[in-house]
Chains A and B, each alone.
Chain A
Amino acid sequence: EVQLLESGGGLVQPGGSLRLSCAASGFIFSSFAMSWVRQAPGKGLEWVSGISGTDGNTYYAESVKGRFTISRDNSKNTLYLQMNSLIAEDTAVFYCAKHRSGIAASGANYWGQGTLVTVSS
């Protein structure tokens, strides 16, 4: 059974940093692309970043480019999102999602339960 467990969310001041983690199990982690998707309170889904499983290429939404870094540790079956220079607009539930294949152009078929990030002074 595929399981994705996010952690690392919390309250942070504007300008601060957080690192989110997503522990994966139930599938061969290194073989699949992964993404982070966020949802601000009461709002829709926003794709944030993705990383392929085949070559480790990374992709970012314009709204986070230069501030967020996605990475993966295949030895630990863990996906990360390093978030720097956080602003109030980054307040959201962040979901980790597994893609259907190793390439990013494959869509996500499993989602974690999410971790809440609140940026506020």
Chain B
Amino acid sequence: DIQMTQSPSSLSASVGDRVTITCRASQGISNYLAWYQQKPGKVPKLLIYGASTLQSGVPSRFSGSGSGTDFTLTISSLQPEDVATYYCQKYNSAPHTFGGGTKVEIK
């Protein structure tokens, strides 16, 4: 099965900082990658699908890029409401494995 590796596992940044989270697939998955945000005590929310398509209603400071095995989620200007754990997920074929998550905090 394809493994999904996220890095870093956690990060602390200041409000306004540019934040980048990386997700690496152990084999190519084309652009079948989604990014989710899960705030503490809340349900996961889809941010990006198709590696780079922003889900409707998601702020434009979020963006995704990549294809094949290497993907990136970028928050262009970190806001206090972005404190959450972020997960990538492959969905090209089963199993639809998630990455281990990246916890984002405010410095």
A residues lining the B interface (CB < 8 Å): 35, 37, 44-47, 50, 59-62, 95, 100, 104-114
Q: Is B49 an interface residue (CB 8 A)?
A: yes
Task: Tell whether, in the assembled complex, residue A44 and residue B101 are in contact, meaning their CB atoms are under 8 Å apart.
Answer: yes
Bound-complex Cα distance A50 to B95 (A): 9
> Mostly helix, strand, loop or mixed at chain A's interface?
strand
Q: Is B34 an interface residue (CB 8 A)?
A: yes
The one of B1, B43, B97, B100 that contacts A111, using a Cβ cutoff of 8 Å: B43
Bound-complex Cα distance A16 to B87 (A): 31
Task: Tell whether, in the assembled complex, residue A100 and residue B36 are in contact, meaning their CB atoms are under 8 Å apart.
Answer: no
Q: Is B61 an interface residue (CB 8 A)?
A: no
Chain B residues with Cβ under 8 A from A47's Cβ?
Answer: 89, 95-98
CB distance from B5 to the nearest CB of A (A): 12
Given contacts A45-B36, A112-B43, A113-B43, contact A104 B101 (CB under 8 A): no
Task: Tell whether, in the assembled complex, residue B94 and residue A44 are in contact, meaning their CB atoms are under 8 Å apart.
Answer: no
CB distance from B85 to the nearest CB of A (A): 8
CB distance from A106 to the nearest CB of B (A): 7
CB distance from A7 to the nearest CB of B (A): 16
Of the A-B pairs whose beta carbons lie under 8 Å apart in the complex, a sample of 19, sorted by A's number, is: A44-B98, A45-B38, A45-B89, A46-B98, A47-B96, A47-B98, A50-B94, A59-B94, A59-B96, A60-B94, A95-B43, A95-B44, A104-B96, A107-B46, A107-B49, A107-B50, A107-B91, A109-B49, A112-B43
The one of B85, B89, B94, B98 that contacts A104, using a Cβ cutoff of 8 Å: B94
Bound-complex Cα distance A107 to B55 (A): 11
Task: Tell whether, in the assembled complex, residue B91 and residue A105 are in contact, meaning their CB atoms are under 8 Å apart.
Answer: yes
Task: Tell whether, in the assembled complex, residue B95 and residue A45 are in contact, meaning their CB atoms are under 8 Å apart.
Answer: no
The one of A59, A105, A108, A109 that contacts B95, using a Cβ cutoff of 8 Å: A59
Task: Tell whether, in the assembled complex, residue A111 and residue B44 are in contact, meaning their CB atoms are under 8 Å apart.
Answer: yes
CB distance from B1 to the nearest CB of A (A): 7
Bound-complex Cα distance A43 to B69 (A): 24
Closest residue of chain B to A57, judged by CB?
B94
